[in-house]
């Protein structure tokens, strides 16, 4: 699973856990209170019904708060609004029969999940993507050092292709996700996202990647792959650092 997927999955786990902690919803004056995560409405006659006065287990509640704060800190930092507001709200939680404070804290986590999932946090996503690209390029460099330079070329090429795709999705509305390196390279250069020099380099890198992927190892050298890894890293640093 990609980093984005793991982060969103963790948000969802914590939101589902919060709903498990909250025992139920009560009907006030005939008005139904809707549970967003389970998509169920609790009625007084329902077997799932419990009154709003039901408490939250304190140990479980503290564990949920701690896990939520850890996620917000890792993704957004301690200086972010999400972290500071969540921390402030959670300090007032006693997990007694008043669930309004808990629901406000839960609302902060939902807002963070929604903003992250919908791509409103461009700086955060860029940093995460850069970290992932760097990890894969380090793998390519390690393979290269062990003389598996053909495999290193394939990995470096995959990093380049994924980088071009993410760059296009960020910069160009309705950028197609099923294109290979060459057509994406043409589209990105045509719209002025990078210059003709990078376009020319990427064309050569795509050719080397294709040769490596199809086992045409006699058509390139170890030095070619060394230059490829350097150029891919340079491109990522220019557009994802």
Position 174 scores a pLDDT of 77
Position 55 scores a pLDDT of 67
CB 76 within 8 A of CB 112: yes
pLDDT tens for 89-143 read 888 777 765 577 788 888 888 888 887 776 545 444 444 454 556 677 888 888 8
**How far, in Å, CA of 19 to CA of 14, rounded?**
9
Position 2 scores a pLDDT of 52
The bridge status of strand 34-35 relative to strand 40-41 is: antiparallel
pLDDT tens for 13-60 read 998 888 888 754 333 333 334 344 433 444 444 444 444 445 677 888
Neighbours of 150 (CB within 10 A): 18
Q: Which domains does the chain have, with CATH numbers?
A: 3-117 (no CATH), 122-240 (1.20.120)
Position 202 scores a pLDDT of 96
Position 129 scores a pLDDT of 52
pLDDT tens for 149-169 read 999 898 888 888 888 888 888
CB 140 within 8 A of CB 155: yes
Report the run of H or E that residue 152 belongs to, with start and end. helix 149-171
Mean confidence (pLDDT) of the chain: 77
Burial class of 102 by CB neighbour count within 10 A (0 to 12, 13 to 18, 19+): buried
The residue among 114, 26, 20 whose CA lies nearest residue 61 is: 20
**How far, in Å, CA of 106 to CA of 224, rounded?**
52
Q: Which two tokens stand for residue 205?
A: 């890198």
Position 241 scores a pLDDT of 62
CB 177 within 8 A of CB 118: no
What are the strands, taking DSSP E only, across 72-224?
none
**How far, in Å, CA of 109 to CA of 227, rounded?**
44
pLDDT tens for 192-221 read 999 999 999 999 999 999 999 888 989 999
> What burial letters (b/e) apply to 180-189, b meaning 16+ CB within 10 Å?
ebeebbebbb
Q: Which two tokens stand for residue 91?
A: 């300090």
Give backbone dihedrals phi and psi of 35, rounded to 5 degrees, phi first.
Answer: -90, 110
């Amino acid at each position: 699973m990609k980093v984005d997927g793991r982060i969103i999955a963790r948000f969802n786990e914590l939101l589902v856990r919060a709903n498990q902690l909250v025992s139920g919803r009560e009907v006030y004056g005939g008005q139904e209170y809707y549970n967003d995560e389970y998509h169920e409405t609790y009625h007084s006659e329902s077997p799932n019904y419990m009154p709003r006065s039901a408490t939250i287990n304190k140990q479980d509640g503290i564990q949920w708060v701690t896990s939520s704060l850890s996620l917000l800190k890792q993704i957004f930092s301690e200086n972010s609004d999400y972290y500071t507001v969540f921390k402030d709200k959670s300090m007032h939680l006693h997990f007694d029969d008043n669930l309004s404070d808990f629901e406000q804290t839960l609302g902060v986590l939902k807002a963070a999940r929604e903003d992250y999932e919908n791509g409103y946090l461009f700086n955060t996503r860029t940093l995460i993507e850069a970290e992932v690209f760097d990890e894969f390029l380090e793998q390519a460099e390690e393979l290269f050092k062990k003389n598996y330079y053909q495999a290193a070329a394939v990995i470096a090429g995959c990093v380049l292709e994924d980088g071009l795709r993410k760059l296009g999705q960020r910069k160009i509305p309705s950028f197609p996700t099923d294109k290979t390196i060459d057509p994406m390279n043409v589209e990105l250069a045509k719209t002025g996202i990078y210059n003709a020099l990078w376009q020319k380099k990427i064309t050569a890198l795509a050719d080397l990647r294709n040769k490596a992927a199809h086992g045409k190892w006699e058509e390139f050298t170890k030095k070619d792959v060394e230059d490829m890894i350097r150029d891919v890293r340079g491109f990522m640093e220019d557009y994802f650092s």
